[in-house]
Chain A
């Protein structure tokens, strides 16, 4: 039933009569009815609001009536509500008591100051982040020492190895195979211009073993396992599971984080090895199909092109990258606060930061290996 608000100006007073359904469903129409009355200049004559014809009333309707009431009350003498049906009286009385206190005044903020403050806070956060990462390394070191006294925690290492190593094998093999193939195809295509197609073997071999293999696998692991570590630890933090462990006198770093990080440290070299082999096979496959180089020749040239040094340079980096990915994932997970949004934010941060650190670490290793002549 349509709501109505009829106004009738009598000589000595303003009469308003409300009719129909003053309910949430009609909220939009009700506002349009009430709005013009609110905007009128305050009349000095008393107002009377007649509610006898109101069929339905809920909090929305009651609040709009109350708004009218307060508007008239501030402009002149106290208005009167007449013909209020008994079953609406309780609701109207209830609404009368609400929203009495004005909202706390907010100081307008200077956008420039806000920006400067934001910048300052973010800068401080970068420092704090780094500190928390270093602290995480320290705690893991301590926990690692203690773990030898309680070796039973290593049982969960097996479970985590299954998740981050064994179950990751198919996707790692597939992606590295494709990347190896793509590098070989690009190499053949461009080297062909000056008749140096054969050097594609050097390109694929050295690039994959030294850099691409480990980097690609580390990035995949950061996205696949680092993110899940952060989400797991974060939701455990939200559900107070971590607090529960602490109160039992157990160290969450030792129980939850150490097995996960150790699993990563074991898994990444294995995955890097498998991934590098798969990339070489992918490269050889493309060289055969696209470049017309027989597999025997590819293997023969590969043997000449690479040395064990190249392989070592790649594989040595893997456990260090795993340690960084694990530590970032764990420290971000423990930063999660109460909301679902913060869980998402920390998971994103975990992946972005661990990929960043992996690349920085790769650069540091490149300088190191160059200076020792490997």
Chain B
């Protein structure tokens, strides 16, 4: 594990996001450091997805600043915002694959739009990426409706990585996967993060994922980040929700399980 340096690639300050009367995120601040895997946890409806979607610009904010690569997204010209978009890859919760394109075409699509490369190179690299996420040559020609849940997530991850982004946002990457696939997927994220030097921002409910791949964890409650740090920080946190989450029976089971390598 390379030691992540301290410079934040995403800096969220004093963020307020709300719908109607209610503020979902209430003066929230968060840093994501270069080269780390940050896991964001929170109860359902605590605003994890809202925070992710606000950072990538899908939901307008009411107050606060968001800087990615040190550039304030509000102050930057559209050209620059577009180029930042190119340096980020996003894995949506349901995959959000284009249903009328094959797996291969899904991965090629962002390349086709943004890169000046030949058809052959794009096909080769797209196939290489599909293989890196653990799919075969035969899967590449399947349509999204023919893929299983785990395969859909893998193709979606390959598409998120299509342009070799520096930051990858993962929204519940292991939800809906069986424990074995989920563990494989965790391992995959870890491996890719190391080989490609990614910064990973991940929303998750999966205690396994938090234990095995995340460098740091941010706990979201009451519209704020109530604790940020490694597992020890989480256990030391006084907040009742964090206590319940990391102190629950499921969490203790995961913590006391022998490490996979030792079995």
Contact = CB atoms under 8 A, between A and B. Distances in A.
Interface of A: 23-25, 27-28, 31, 58-60, 63-64, 67, 87, 90-91, 94-95, 97-99, 101, 103-104, 337-341
Most buried by B among A23, A59, A87, A341: A59
Most buried by A among B124, B137, B138, B164: B164
Contacts of A101: 137
Given A59-B164, A60-B125, A94-B195, 5 more contacts: A24-B164, A27-B116, A59-B161, A94-B132, A339-B144
Most buried by A among B99, B111, B114: B99
B163 interface: yes
Interface string B124-164: 11011101100001100001111000000000000001011
Contact of B100 (A27, A60, A340): A340
A337 B128 contact: no
A177 B262 CA distance: 82
B196 interface: yes
Contact of B197 (A27, A87, A98, A339): A87
Contacts of B197: 87
Instruction: Rank and list the top 8 A-B pairs by shortest CB-CB distance, nearest first.
Output: A338-B145, A28-B116, A58-B164, A339-B99, A27-B117, A341-B100, A98-B128, A90-B195
B58 interface: no
B121 interface: yes
Interface of B: 2, 99-100, 111, 114-118, 121, 124-125, 127-129, 131-132, 137-138, 143-146, 161, 163-164, 194-197
Nearest to B99: A339
B115 A91 contact: no
A338 B195 contact: no
B125 A91 contact: no
A91 B196 contact: yes
B126 to A, nearest CB: 10
Contact of B118 (A31, A94, A104): A31
Q: For chain A, what secondary structure do more than half of its interface residues adopt (helix, strand, loop), or is it mixed?
A: helix
B143 A339 contact: yes
Nearest to B100: A341
Nearest to A25: B115
A33 B94 CA distance: 40
B164 A60 contact: yes
Given A91-B195, A98-B132, A338 B115 contact: no
Given A99-B128, A104-B137, A339 B116 contact: no
Contacts of B163: 24
A140 B163 CA distance: 51
Given A90-B194, A91-B195, A339 B100 contact: yes
Given A24-B163, A99-B124, A339-B145, A59 B115 contact: no
Nearest to A28: B116
Contacts of A28: 115-117
A63 B138 CA distance: 21
B51 to A, nearest CB: 27
B127 A99 contact: yes
Contact of A98 (B121, B127, B144, B145): B127
Contacts of A339: 99-100, 143-145
A337 B143 CA distance: 11
Contact of A338 (B99, B131, B194): B99
Contacts of B196: 58-59, 91
Contacts of A64: 121
Contact of A31 (B100, B117, B161): B117
B251 to A, nearest CB: 32
A92 B127 CA distance: 15
Contacts of B114: 24
Nearest to A344: B100
Contacts of A27: 115-117, 121
